[in-house]
Every structure is written in C-alpha cells, then in structure tokens.
Chains A and B, each alone.
Chain A
Amino acid sequence: MELTGAEILIRCLEDEGVEYLFGYPGGAVLHIYDAIYKQDKVEHILVRHEQAATHAADGYARSSGKPGVVLVTSGPGATNAITGIATAYMDSIPMVVFTGQVPTSLIGNDAFQEVDSVGITRPCVKHNFLVKDVKDIAETIKKAFYVATTGRPGPVVVDIPKDITAEKCEYHYPKRISMRSYNPVVKGNKRQIIKAVDLMLSAKRPMVYSGGGVILDRAAKPLTDMTRKLGFPITNTLMGLGAYPATDKQFLGMLGMHGTYEANMAMHNCDVLIAIGARFDDRVTGNIEKFCPTAKIIHIDIDPASIAKNVMVDVPIVGGVSNVLKEMMALIAESKQKPDQKAMAEWWAQIEEWRGVDCLKYETETDVIKPQYVVESLYKVTKGDAFVTSDVGQHQMWAAQFYKFDKPYRWINSGGLGTMGFGLPAAMGAQFANPKATVACVTGEGSIQMNIQELSTCMQYGLPIKIICLNNRALGMVRQWQEFFYQGRYAMSYMEALPDFVKLAESYGHVGMNIEKPEDVVPAMEEAMGKYKNRLVFMNFITDQTENVYPMIPAGAGLNEMILV
C-alpha cells in the first residue's frame, strides 16, 4: 500500500521505537500533523516554544540514553529550535530534529516562512539532510537515527519540504544501514591499550579524569570497577558527574573552574593522567600552558578530533570508552604488576591534606538562606536519587558541587553551550522518560524566565516537576565576575520588576511557595515532595544575594592557582 510522505515519517518513528515526539505545528508540517492525528503509537508533546521542544527532547535523551526526537515547522520554527540543537551538539546528545520546509517549487524564492534550514543548522549539527524525493524519506530517517546515535553522538536535522510529505510511495523501513563515508571506530587499538595499562600500573601519582563520554557510552560500571580495583583518585567533569559515585572515598569531586581544591591540585600534581571520554575543555584546563606539568597523559575518546586538540597526549586511544575500559580491566587482571602501594599511600596522604582544606565550606549560621544549603537540602530530602536538571549560572555550579550524584543520567545540564532556559524543558523530557521519578529543576530567577512559558506544557501533561529557584535577585554569575574583575560595576546584572513567582505558578495551575528563612527550607521541600508529590511545585527560595561560587580559577590561571573563600 502506498503511504504519503507524512505517514511514512510517522511509521518510521514507530519502527524506530520512538515514544515521544516533542514539537509545535505550523504550515509546512500540517500534513505530518494530520498523520500524527490518525495514529496512536507515537505520542506528540506540544510545547509552547520550539526551543523548549529541543531541550525537552535533549532532557529525554540524557535521562534515558535514547535519542530525543523533535518536529518543528519551517522558518521561525526551525530558527527557534537552533539554540536547542546547538546545546545538544556541544554536549554530544543524540537527537533527530525534523524541520518542515516550504514546497520544493518555492525553495530559494524567499517564500513565506522559508529559511535555509540545512544551511543555518550546518555548524551545529553532526549532520543534516534535505529530502527531495518521497522515496528517500525512510532511508534518510534511518540514516539520521544511525548517525545521531553512533560514534560520538549528536543532533541530526532532517529538512522535509511540504510537497514531499503529500506525495506517495510504498513504505519500506530498512532494518540496517551502512554508509561508506561513516564508520566510527569503537574498538581501541590493542597496542595502545597495553601501553596505557603499563603506564597506569607504574604510576606513582595517578589521576583519573572522566567526562560526559563515559555517560554517553554507558560506561559508568567499567569506569567504577577499574578505578576501585586500582585504588586511584578520580574526578568527573561537569558533564561526567554520576559516572563514578560521588559519595565514594576515591571521588575528589568535580574539577575545573569551580571544581574542588583536591581535584584540581591532584590534576596539577599527578604523574599519570587517565582522561576518559573528556575533551580538555577550557573550563577544565584553565591556562593550557600550566596544565598538568608533570603528567604523562592517556586519552581515551571515540572522536579522534578530540585527541590532541587542546592538549598533547602521550598515549592516545581512539575507541568507545566502554570497550576500551573492559579491555583494560582484562589486562589489569592478567598483569603481575600491581600499583606501587607505598607511592599510592603517600599520594593519598597528600590528597587527604588537600581535601582537609574543605574548599566547599560556607557560612551556615545565618538568617538568610544560603544557596548551597538549598541544594544540600534537596540532596537530603530526595535521598540523592532525583533527576536534577539545571539552568546556567551560579545555581548550576552549586548544584554540581553539592548534589552528590551516585548514578549516571541523573545530572542534566547544558555544559558546553551554557544555555540559560535549558532547565525547565529538559526537566519535562526527563519526567517523560522517568514518569515515576522525582525530577527537580535547579534554576535561578534569571534562567527560569527564559522558558517560563513551559509551565503551561507541564500543566497540560501533568508533569510534577519540582522547580528549585535560587532567587538572589541578580544574574549571579555575571554579578560575581563584575564583583571580582570589574570593581563592582554591576552593569545590567540586576533585574527590576521580577514577577511574583507564586502567583505566576498558580496562574498556570501549579503550586507556588515562597521560602525566606533557612529553617523553612527542608519542611517546604518535604511538603513539595510529600503532600504535593503529584503537582508541579515552584519553590522560590529567597537566597543570599552576595554569595559567590568558590573555589574559582580566574581566567589565565593554572589549576593550582585557585581562589578559595
């Protein structure tokens, strides 16, 4: 039987096992929406802005490991989606975005709601396609999912002109696809792996530095097993939190600009650095000239272009981190050599001394709510088992520092692009993927207003997200930099005329709470998670306006040159 292009698209999603399609209708995708209307296999989630559709699909992907899927219309639908596509691109999140396009005959004519979607998304996608024939739809969609989810994952855009969605052809969804120009290497080179293991076992001051690649390749278990077996200290990047249990003794916390003193000092002083699925981002390395001066560096990454991009390495290994770690484990088990226990004891003694600095301590005896205390309370009340999304700024760093993630996929934030407005829609996606779990969105009064309209989507689908708004009446991270580096000239970092968030939440049909005293923090959260378990609760915490994120590595400094409190 012949199907229309629109029907074929939806059938492909069904055959691909897609549960949710996050989107927003418009002229160029009306045939597709008609096809959605006529079936009940793929559920369409109607957001309030296309940016939120991409972030929701992103949150769904990050919390489930499955690709997020988005459908938007041509022109402004596509351009609104760009921020979310770029966010997913920077963090290597698998996503397939369908953009409607004006009919083939009108392409290039400056038609109504026309934009060159393939051109405009090119720099922020892993790949993109323009479908020019109805017969190509199924194969293109298969390719899109294949490219998005394999190798180093990333977003793929499929642009489909309206006339193509109306034309008909036989439907056939390929079971497998191979592309002569795309064959990601997943197995590491054996000789390099042997070299790496030798180096690791002879280390006197080893350090494991693991990133988002471990989460993406589902390698938390082999990473944890190997690190425990070797007894090495480990740090996670902002993107890698949860890959190694944060409550474990060997875990030194996050590293980088707002990382812990012990993690950064151990990085700076180690003699063998084992970088796993991490990309030596500038927020991690600080001044590259001063980075890990005494270390031999092993770097495992699925993307060859990530290796030797910022930092030259001694043992590069291109491959999936999961495969490589398993091979390493086997070699370590076979090897007669064991880590030098005396050297390790000395190394750990040094690390404990750094840890003793207690770099994350903050004032607790106060009348005002400290933002750190809110995150710590969230950790306690949710027993460390919530899915936590965040926006971008100070609250993001406090969430990363104070919520101890013991499991992967629980921490969802825009690390690479740093997209304000990410938190709430990402929480929606995480809640769809994990309907029974507690999903908290740690945000600020600045960030939350960038996608506040999604409170309406949350109402429509009954999403019981807990919004933890650290309201300091300032764009905190901007304010902090202005305090440190611009002699307190607070240009545009304070907002006047903030809304009454309680009334705002209530007007959308949700529960709103103002929390102004430290002693009310925990009871309010308990009420939100208890009495209002099944409701969205907007918790507006009035926090200390002058609190800064510490420790901090100023621009141009090395990892050993931190500003402590």
Chain B
Amino acid sequence: MRHIISILMENEAGALSRVAGLFSARGYNIESLTVAATEDPSLSRMTLVTRGSDQIIEQITKQLNKLIDVVKLIDLTEGPHIEREMMLVKVKAAAATDARNEINRLAEIFRGNIIDVTSNSYTIELTGTGDKLDAFIRAVGHEEILETVRSGVSGISRGDKSLSL
C-alpha cells in the first residue's frame, strides 16, 4: 500500500542523506520526497511517499524514528489528510493555432495557470493530487509535451491535528 510519511527533523546538513541512506541501505523504495525548512528555521519538514506491506511500513517508521535527527513523524495515510503536488509543464503551443486554444481550455478545466508564453510554447503551473497531474498529462498527450517538472507530494492532516513540537 501507498503511504505518505510526514517527518519533522532537525534542519542540519546531512539530515536528508540520513533518510535517503536509510532507504537505500534497507531496500525500501521512495516514490517521492520533498523537503524544506519550516517557519522555525531549526526544523525541516519532509514528506515521503513509499509503498510496502504493513510490516514494512511499520519498520520504515520505526527506523526513521530511530534516526537521531528525526524529531517527530506521522503516517498521514492513517487518517484523513490532504496531499498536493505541483507540476510545471511546458507544452507545444504555436501562436494562432487550435492547439493553443485547446491548451488554454485544458488549463482552465484543470485549474492550471499559464505562467509563461513564447511564440511556440506555453508553460503551465498545476497543483493537485498525483492522479490529477497524471490526468492532465494524458489529456494534453505525450506528443505535445516538451518538459515536465513535478515537486513530489506534500501532505498535511485534516482537522486540528498538527505535526509540530
């Protein structure tokens, strides 16, 4: 099963490599990983998406907790939560063509923003779940895509519950 693990850790050099090293050393897979400092600059927040049986996920959370730099973590998928991923995608869109109108419409349907325009291309910013981003790529068609960049998943739990000190 797919799990989203949210980790609060010391914002120290090498903290990221401890997590990445743990996953490679123990043969766990990482589907995506995002990390940045929080409002408290001494802490980083990491969101990690992984897959595994219940037993493996239990080991992953225990092994992560064992890392000295990890302050707290939760498995977001254990409760109601929101996940978002951002994608920047550059597509073919020659000026004054139907393609340009079509991309415009699609961007609107998917609530994307066109953030850069050239005579040959559009760059679109799109936020949502991974599924939504995949759907957009399918709708545009691989042929039309010049480049995509995805941020990886960020997640937060619903309601008043929060992961903080």
Interface of A with B (CB < 8 Å)? 118-119, 122-123, 126-127, 130, 147, 179-182, 303-305, 308-309, 312
Contact = CB atoms under 8 A, between A and B. Distances in A.
B66 A181 contact: no
Contacts of A303: 66
Contacts of A308: 55, 58-59
Contacts of B65: 304-305
A161 to B, nearest CB: 14
The 10 closest A-B CB pairs, nearest first, are A305-B62, A127-B68, A181-B71, A304-B62, A182-B68, A123-B25, A305-B66, A305-B63, A122-B21, A181-B10
A99 to B, nearest CB: 15
Contacts of A118: 14
12 contacts: A122-B21, A123-B25, A179-B68, A180-B165, A303-B66, A304-B62, A304-B65, A304-B66, A305-B63, A305-B65, A309-B59, A312-B55
Secondary structure at the B interface, as helix, strand, loop or mixed, is helix
Interface string B62-87: 11011011110000000000000000
Nearest to A156: B68
Contacts of B13: 130
A118 B13 CA distance: 11
A147 B25 contact: no
A449 B42 CA distance: 49
B62 A122 contact: no
A226 B66 CA distance: 30
A126 B68 contact: yes
B34 to A, nearest CB: 20
Contacts of B68: 126-127, 147, 179, 181-182
Nearest to B42: A180
Contacts of A181: 9-10, 68-71
Interface string B10-50: 10011001100100010000000000000000000000000
A287 B158 CA distance: 44
Contacts of B21: 122-123
A222 to B, nearest CB: 25
B9 A119 contact: no
Contacts of A122: 14, 17-18, 21
Nearest to A307: B62
B40 to A, nearest CB: 11
A346 B1 CA distance: 46
Contacts of A180: 71, 165
Nearest to B14: A118
Nearest to B9: A181
B137 to A, nearest CB: 36
A123 B19 CA distance: 11
Contacts of A312: 55
A147 B68 CA distance: 9
B61 to A, nearest CB: 9
Contacts of B69: 181
Given A119-B17, A127-B68, A130-B14, 14 more contacts: A118-B14, A119-B14, A122-B14, A122-B21, A123-B21, A123-B25, A126-B68, A180-B71, A180-B165, A181-B10, A181-B70, A182-B68, A308-B55, A308-B59
A122 B24 CA distance: 12
A181 B69 CA distance: 6
A304 B70 CA distance: 15
Contacts of B9: 181
Nearest to B18: A122
B84 to A, nearest CB: 27
A7 to B, nearest CB: 26
Nearest to A306: B62
Counting chain B CB atoms within 10 Å of each CB, the highest count among A303, A304, A305 belongs to: A305
A303 B65 CA distance: 10
Contacts of B10: 181
B52 to A, nearest CB: 14
Contacts of B58: 308
Contacts of B18: 122
Nearest to B25: A123
B37 to A, nearest CB: 15
Contacts of A127: 68
A157 to B, nearest CB: 12
